[in-house]
Chain A
């Protein structure tokens, strides 16, 4: 029995979807970026809650672990380092901090200071050229002590863990997705970092005013950096991503001075032998 062949071609292709791919792309990207940002934000709140409620004992244990792991440093200039240490110790009472912070002076021309987990503060010798008075220097040290008091390094570490976890979960499907959605979480991390810097600035202002009775010299260091920036913008550009812009930091501090009613006052000069000529 012969079977007839009836040729035909389907007019509509059912094996493909007819939605425009760009629409799908935009929808998926925005949904996933929103979800990634939401997860990061929620877990960030959890990190803040955990860090805020951490007992002093736990914090001390964590700090000791880091202190042992930190790099030993031989002092570039023992005399100045000892003076920095005395200045930092004098701020402890106003900072309501029991454990002293160890201050190290590093021979680096960058005008920077860092607070390390473990209760250490490292000041670069380049910073000393940008402060003209003890008050200005005290503000910088107070800012770093405020970071330690706020446990900012623990917050940053917790958020870093959250970022890596989200990246690992997204990355399980392939290498491309992390590159796409990573910047969303990184932008959130940098925003958080800027917020913590602002909080440390305001806390340092309070410590300064408590120690000296007035807020003179608070913006000394930032103004010096500002002058630097105008002369050679590229050099200090790297400073800005995780920190707020210099101009807005100065503005915030001055507004806080007005709001909290701090006055200006005489600046104490730094009593030191002249800085050695070429350390860098």
Chain B
């Protein structure tokens, strides 16, 4: 499944458009990561636990969007955009959406 966040897939032409598809996950961090983060607040540095968490969420959300596009019969997604928000204490939502198209 090809994905870009520009209007087209370079080198290919869009034949059909299937509408907007999206994928989202809401993930929470556990207390272990919270405690590590508090310690890092003192010494500074990258919060590897949180970085991993966000990467997992991102992969998960993109996978869900891809699955939805496949259900509609598309083979590429253009104009992909991300959006995050915090919806619960200690949990963040990653939401990705784009236009599912068929390219040739």
A and B touch in the complex (CB under 8 A): yes
Task: List CB contacts (< 8 Å) of A170-185 with chain B.
Answer: 170, 172-174
Is A42 an interface position by the 8 A CB rule? no
Contacts of B16 in A (CB 8 A): 3-6
Any chain A CB within 8 A of the CB of B42?
no
A15 touches B23 (CB 8 A): yes
Interface pair B22/A6, CB less than 8 Å apart: no
Counting CB contacts under 8 A, is B79 at the interface? no
Q: Using Cβ atoms and an 8 Å threshold, which residues of chain A touch B68? A: 10, 14-15
Q: Is B15 part of the contact surface with A, judged by Cβ < 8 Å? A: yes
Hey, which chain A residues are within 8 Å of B24, CB to CB? 15
Q: Does A98 lie at the interface of the complex (its beta carbon under 8 Å from any beta carbon of B)?
A: no
Find out whether the CB atom of A5 lies under 8 angstroms from the CB atom of B17.
yes
Q: How many residues of A contact B (CB 8 A)?
A: 18
Residue numbers in A under 8 Å from B49 (CB-CB):
none
Contact check, A6 vs B102: say whether CB atoms are below 8 A apart.
Answer: yes
Digit string of A1-17 for contact with B (CB within 8 Å is 1, else 0)?
10111111111101100
Chain A residues whose CB sits within 8 angstroms of the CB of B90 once the complex forms: 173-174
The digit string for A92-112, where 1 denotes a CB below 8 A from any CB of B, is 000000000000000000000
Chain B interfacial residues counted at CB < 8 A:
23
CB < 8 Å neighbour of A173 from B13, B22, B31, B73: B31
Is A169 interfacial (CB 8 A cutoff)? yes
Q: Which residues of B contact A10 (CB under 8 A)?
A: 21, 68, 71-72
Which A residues touch B73, using CB under 8 A? 6, 8
Question: Residue of A at shortest CB range from B88?
Answer: A174
* Contacting residues of chain B (15-74) with chain A, CB-CB under 8 angstroms: 15-19, 21-24, 31, 34, 64, 67-68, 71-73
Q: How far is the CB of B96 from chain A (nearest CB, A)?
A: 11
A170 and B35 alpha carbons, distance in the complex (Å) = 11
In contact, A1 and B23 (Cβ under 8 angstroms): no
CB distance from A180 to the nearest CB of B (A): 15
Contact B15 A169 (CB under 8 A): no
Complex Cα spacing A173 to B89, Å? 6
Name the A residues within 8 Å of B14 (CB-CB). Answer: 3
> Chain B residues near A3 (CB, 8 Å)?
14-17, 101
A172 with B31, Cβ < 8 A, contacts A3-B16, A4-B16, A8-B72 known:
yes
Minimum Cβ distance to chain A for residue B89 (Å): 5
Are A174 and B89 in touch, CB under 8 angstroms?
yes
Q: In the assembled complex, which residues on chain B have CB atoms less than 8 Å from the CB atom of A4?
A: 15-17
Contact with A along B82-98 (1 / 0, CB 8 A): 00000001100000000
Cβ of B71 and Cβ of A1 under 8 Å apart?
A: no
Contact, CB under 8 Å: B31 / A8 = no
List 25 interface pairs A-B (beta carbons < 8 Å), by A numbering. A3-B14, A3-B15, A5-B16, A5-B18, A6-B17, A6-B72, A6-B73, A8-B18, A8-B19, A8-B72, A8-B73, A9-B72, A10-B68, A10-B71, A14-B23, A14-B64, A14-B67, A14-B68, A15-B22, A15-B64, A169-B31, A172-B34, A173-B31, A173-B89, A174-B90
Residues of B within 8 A of A (CB): 13-19, 21-24, 31, 34, 64, 67-68, 71-73, 89-90, 101-102
Task: Contacts A6-B18, A8-B72 known; list 10 others, CB within 8 Å.
Answer: A3-B14, A5-B17, A5-B18, A6-B17, A7-B19, A8-B71, A11-B71, A15-B24, A15-B64, A170-B31
